[in-house]
Chain A
């Protein structure tokens, strides 16, 4: 019989306000095997932990039940305390009476009753607990960064700086991401290319960093410290080593009618292309959807003009298998599609553009050479209307996002200010719900747009934009003046909401990393562990975790690198002690467990068995590699004969908990 101590935490008023903690302690004190009970304001504090340690020593406890917050929060704290007092740390069970009780209930009587039931289940489990010892596994001292935007670049540079090897996988032909498309950066208005391209060069020249451009992650196996990743290197039909990036092929290619995605389709490129002059790696790529040679077999101009002999029309996708200790997700964002926002006439008029398109039009390397011209007729717009929150901050029923995209207020202020700076004869209106500019030097920046540059900021939303006689009639309401406005604008710029890149959801599935309803990756703790995924060994950098501007992205990218370095600096990781094990006498050898194991921890072997009738039989049985098993339990539920069981979460323990709850 175990000697169990029950410790009920008030968590200040977090638990105590909704749960009668004294009643819980007393009720649980009457359970069989419980020899000690106590309640205290903060069990996780040093004083609280001492109470646990002292009780373990004084009452010769063999197990402890802590009724407190989620085990994700403090299970480790209490396990360490128990171990310090001399009992195996796996003899501690947490009854979560905060997240699963006090926080979600209002009625004190029923919440108290539920807390007692949860405690009873934990006690029932401790009765069946056995001491467990965790093994160790080595750490592969290399990191993978998925996404080569500013977030991925900064994380890779920082990890490499600490001496670890890093691979960047970028699906586009060049690294650089969204920042490479931007003209100027707020709040200091330095040119994006001037501060980004040197970093891109640093990446290319860093001998610790390898870039897999035009590549995607195909499959991920393994676990923290020992990931095995298959990377698909998409066929670019150009030998990356031979290509010198001279660009001759991109001038001679006869297929000129390909929408240029780098300029968001505002101009055209050739079928063989280098996205922009500072691309890294500076290697041409053939667009198989448009290349005449690949489609019909008749052309071959690029091959003829290439002095390096780098063109290879027969190139196929190849796969690279690599091992990593840590994986960083830096998949970034995209502006949302605006097809559904017909009230703004985005699909009807080329002069209704998104803010990112505006960036390209004002960029010196863009389709207009940096001169602000209307896409429709190439004239200077004299009246520009900026519309904020297009698709952001909508209520649940709309076709947009419920969240604030965070960066739009600042870049719209930037656009408005730059327009007035360069073209003082232009009238600029900004329609907003609220102007949100917290951040260092951010509000000052916005005030300058209003006060020094005379931008008309109007509180209110635009109801309709309709193209009429080469103009855009903007109908809007001014909520402060309380009147309707009709503006005959030349150009309308929509601050489209941003959303996670489409590749994020399938990637999250591969990584078994969790996401929120908007497909942003969730962090292990929103305040205390903001750059780690709840899945061990997966780290988050940049907009894949939530909307961010560049300063914040870079700060988070470096924070993420620090966490990765902390992991890679370790020689060994303590494995999970709660691993699966197979009862060989029950195992059928059916391979179901092997198929469902997400970590590849189960293998089969032919073993000789002495049977009850004294014959010898060779049987096919499962065996679990405890260093690889993460204790997810998928095999235990898939096993038809109940041969698989999990240490620390055995079928008997779980049934005992259920019985205790249903008692």
Chain B
């Protein structure tokens, strides 16, 4: 696929159809990819990559790209198109300055899961169907790909693109995902257990703001956490604010708009499963106001900013929370 995508990027740049291309290139390590803006076909040839570690959702970068002159091409995996569609709905992207290319995705890998298997000194990873050939400084190992998939990909909600200008490869289907299973487990805990679970997770937060910075729903001109007038602006983890409030406030700010792309958890240097908080909200919205996934349907009105007579009474919502 990487070859096809590179060729497409080069073709778009050469033909003058686009001025820039948003894609991925390797970072410090091969598994540590970073989003990159390619300006020339040569640069694409040299450094553009697309493989199991091209996890970054590029849609958020389109907010800034749309402000520039000229057209930018972007490669979007199915789940990234959810964010793209949501951002368009919120008038955050100049659509006419974007050339969106849909690309297939077989699920992205989580290097931490390999490490947890005790595999150290990883040099390269080769994908062979359902298996991964991992070569390390200690020799070669074969592992099942499904065991190394990131949680968001193991529970992928859709392999179908919401929208694009052109599509590379075959279009997939909306999947019958088991993504809410983990939420149900959390719901079955007692409130004390649940509090302890989250306090344990969130106490590791170093308030680096990576989750907010990567989140495609967090595109405010000025974030409330950076706004001195908001009364909640702070940077350093000076108190238990991060543990108790920061992530909750953030979840409320993206509720009904989160596309469950899982980027928050991917970038968290402390490995906090942040996307579960947002996913709980998605599950609740489904239960209270009917099935809804932000980004899935560009014309649908979001339940939290819409009123219908079938909406659950607030009192009943409250009772469910007990």
The CA-CA distance from A655 to B224 in the complex, in Å, is 15
Given contacts A591-B90, A652-B231, are A642 and B224 in contact (CB under 8 A)?
A: yes
A467 interface hit (Cβ, 8 Å): no
Is B92 in contact with A588, judged by CB distance below 8 angstroms?
yes
The CA-CA distance from A555 to B224 in the complex, in Å, is 55
The CA-CA distance from A652 to B222 in the complex, in Å, is 18
Scan A633-648; emit 1 where CB is below 8 A from any B CB, else 0: 0000010111000000
Is A588 in contact with B305, judged by CB distance below 8 angstroms?
no
Complex partner residue of B231 from A589, A595, A655, CB under 8 angstroms:
A655
Scan A604-621; emit 1 where CB is below 8 A from any B CB, else 0: 100000000000010010
Q: Which residues of chain B (112-138) have a CB below 8 Å from chain A?
A: none
The CA-CA distance from A585 to B220 in the complex, in Å, is 11
A315 interface hit (Cβ, 8 Å): no
Is A592 in contact with B224, judged by CB distance below 8 angstroms?
no
The CA-CA distance from A590 to B87 in the complex, in Å, is 9
Is B91 in contact with A641, judged by CB distance below 8 angstroms?
no
Is A590 in contact with B90, judged by CB distance below 8 angstroms?
yes
Give min CB distance, B100 to chain A, whole Å.
20
Interface residues of chain A: helix, strand, loop or mixed (majority): mixed
Contacts of B224 in A (CB 8 A): 641-642
A587 interface hit (Cβ, 8 Å): yes
The CA-CA distance from A652 to B223 in the complex, in Å, is 17
**Residue from the set B227, B305, B306 with the largest chain A CB neighbour count within 10 Å:** B305
Is A617 in contact with B67, judged by CB distance below 8 angstroms?
yes
Is B309 in contact with A641, judged by CB distance below 8 angstroms?
no
Give min CB distance, A207 to chain B, whole Å.
37
Scan A560-599; emit 1 where CB is below 8 A from any B CB, else 0: 0000000000000000000000000111111110011000
Contacts of B221 in A (CB 8 A): 585-588, 641
The A-B contact count (CB < 8 A) is 54
**Residue from the set A590, A595, A620 with the largest chain B CB neighbour count within 10 Å:** A590
Complex partner residue of B223 from A509, A620, A641, A651, CB under 8 angstroms:
A641
Scan B181-203; emit 1 where CB is below 8 A from any A CB, else 0: 00000000000000000000000
The CA-CA distance from A655 to B230 in the complex, in Å, is 10
The CA-CA distance from A362 to B301 in the complex, in Å, is 54
Contacts of B231 in A (CB 8 A): 651-652, 655
Is A592 in contact with B305, judged by CB distance below 8 angstroms?
yes
B51 interface hit (Cβ, 8 Å): no
Scan A461-483; emit 1 where CB is below 8 A from any B CB, else 0: 00000000000000000000000
Contacts of B229 in A (CB 8 A): 642, 652
Is A620 in contact with B91, judged by CB distance below 8 angstroms?
yes
| Chain B, Cβ-Cβ closest to A592 | B305
Complex partner residue of A506 from B254, B257, B304, B309, CB under 8 angstroms:
B309
Given contacts A595-B305, A617-B67, A640-B253, are A585 and B92 in contact (CB under 8 A)?
A: no
The CA-CA distance from A592 to B256 in the complex, in Å, is 11
| Complex A-B, nearest 10 residue pairs according to Cβ-Cβ distance, in ascending order | A641-B220, A590-B90, A595-B305, A640-B253, A589-B91, A596-B305, A642-B224, A642-B230, A586-B222, A588-B220
Given contacts A589-B90, A590-B91, A651-B230, 15 further A-B contacts (CB under 8 A): A506-B309, A586-B221, A588-B90, A588-B220, A589-B91, A589-B92, A592-B90, A595-B302, A595-B305, A595-B306, A640-B253, A640-B257, A641-B221, A641-B222, A652-B231
